[in-house]
Amino acid sequence: MIFRQLFDSTSGTYTYLIASRQGGEALIIDPVLEKVDRYLQLVRELDLKLVKAVDTHLHADHITGLGALRDRTHCITVMGEQTAADVVSMRVAEGDRVSIEGLSLDVLYTPGHTDDSYSFLTGGRVFTGDTLLIRGTGRTDFQNGDPRQQYDSIFNKLLKLPEDTLVYPAHDYKGDTVSTIGEEKRFNPRLKVGSVDEYVDLMNNLNLPNPKMMDVAVPANIHVGLHQDEIAAKGWAVSAVEAMALSGRADVAIVDLREKAEREKHGAIPGALHAPYPELRENIGAGGMLHELALATGKRIVFYCAFGERSAMAVEAAQAAGLISACHIEGGIDAWKRANGPLVGHGTARQT
């Protein structure tokens, strides 16, 4: 496994680059905008392909690198389903998995620092965001933070992990890089409380100043999405209602770009073909399935995904590859559901 911990000294943020092997797919956790060039250089040097960029929560102290990494690598952006960030390509919830070639992260919902705070667990390491820090915990006094929820996330979820699980937080201001669950149980001063009420009192009386970047970072981090209106202005988008009229037509192929687990959990448009986003380049290139479908049979390709971000990128790529009738469903399956579009395969996911 390739595992790199990178540091942004301005915001004290740790960013993690993970891959199962050299030459393979990689994902990055909590990237910082100003460091994107460095991440991409490292990705090239290690011969990796960045396919997913994950934020543990909506950050208030730095601008996320998610949007820039998405623009430069066409990777999928991942955050929790509660996030206010406008267009995240994949929204996850407790019990989901974030998978890349050769490894997957278990998704733990750990609210409290913010209401969209998640932790990610893989191979004896837990990435705790700002929920559990080294000898500290994330503040709970803004962005719908809640010390009671944080107590529950820490005591009833994170501290239940095996004691030797390595703890990798999103920040450290003292120079510590890694801890373990056992160590934090024993030595974290914030966790030396006798009850949830005591923890709530402690957290409500920290009287911290707001982060310096907060007024800039929060609005910027809410608007990280690819601008779907730019795709629509080019005539490359249809609304969910328009897509319903196209669905089932012999001259139209509706193409689902999501992963299998997403289709099983959220349902799919009846009759849609499945062509996962990571294989898009092969599918739209000469000899590719979608290339042949569009150019040999003259079908109009209508892409969709979860919220319209992957499909917007797919339309741009398909148009560039000469599939000039390609379009996408603005807002994805989320918009389709809100328009009461029919679904198949919903709820076939294993209940965990």
Rounded-to-integer distance, Cα 258 and Cα 135, Å: 39
21-50 residues near Fe ion, rule: CB under 5 A: none
250-309 residues near Fe ion, rule: CB under 5 A: none
Least Å from the CB of residue 14 to Fe ion? 12
Closest to Fe ion by CB, 149 vs 283, is 149
Least Å from the CB of residue 92 to Fe ion? 18
Closest to Fe ion by CB, 130 vs 309, is 130
Least Å from the CB of residue 207 to Fe ion? 18
Least Å from the CB of residue 213 to Fe ion? 11
Closest to Fe ion by CB, 113 vs 266, is 113
**Pattern of binders to Fe ion over 150-189, x per CB under 5 A?**
----------------------------------------
One-letter amino acid identity for 214? M
Least Å from the CB of residue 59 to Fe ion? 5
Q: At 281, list the tokens.
A: 């380049």
Task: Answer for the pair 254, 247: CB distance below 8 angstroms, yes or no.
Answer: yes
Nearest residue to Fe ion, scored by beta-carbon proximity: 130
Closest to Fe ion by CB, 116 vs 130, is 130
Q: At 127, list the tokens.
A: 């990435």
Q: At 150, list the tokens.
A: 């944080």
Adjacent-strand bridge partners of 92: 80
Rounded-to-integer distance, Cα 299 and Cα 301, Å: 6
Count of positions on this chain that bind Fe ion (CB under 5 A):
1
Adjacent-strand bridge partners of 74: none
Closest to Fe ion by CB, 138 vs 308, is 138
Q: Rg of the chain over CA atoms, in angstroms? A: 21
Rounded-to-integer distance, Cα 295 and Cα 299, Å: 7
Least Å from the CB of residue 57 to Fe ion? 6
Q: What is the dihedral of CA 328, 333, 335, 341, to 10 degrees?
A: 100
Rounded-to-integer distance, Cα 30 and Cα 137, Å: 17
3-state secondary structure of 207: coil
Least Å from the CB of residue 235 to Fe ion? 40
Closest to Fe ion by CB, 8 vs 330, is 8
Q: Tell whether residue 116 is a contact of Fe ion (CB under 5 A).
A: no
Closest to Fe ion by CB, 8 vs 130, is 130
Rounded-to-integer distance, Cα 246 and Cα 174, Å: 57
**Pattern of binders to Fe ion over 124-153, x per CB under 5 A?**
------x-----------------------
Rounded-to-integer distance, Cα 11 and Cα 128, Å: 17
Interacting residues toward Fe ion by CB under 5 A:
130
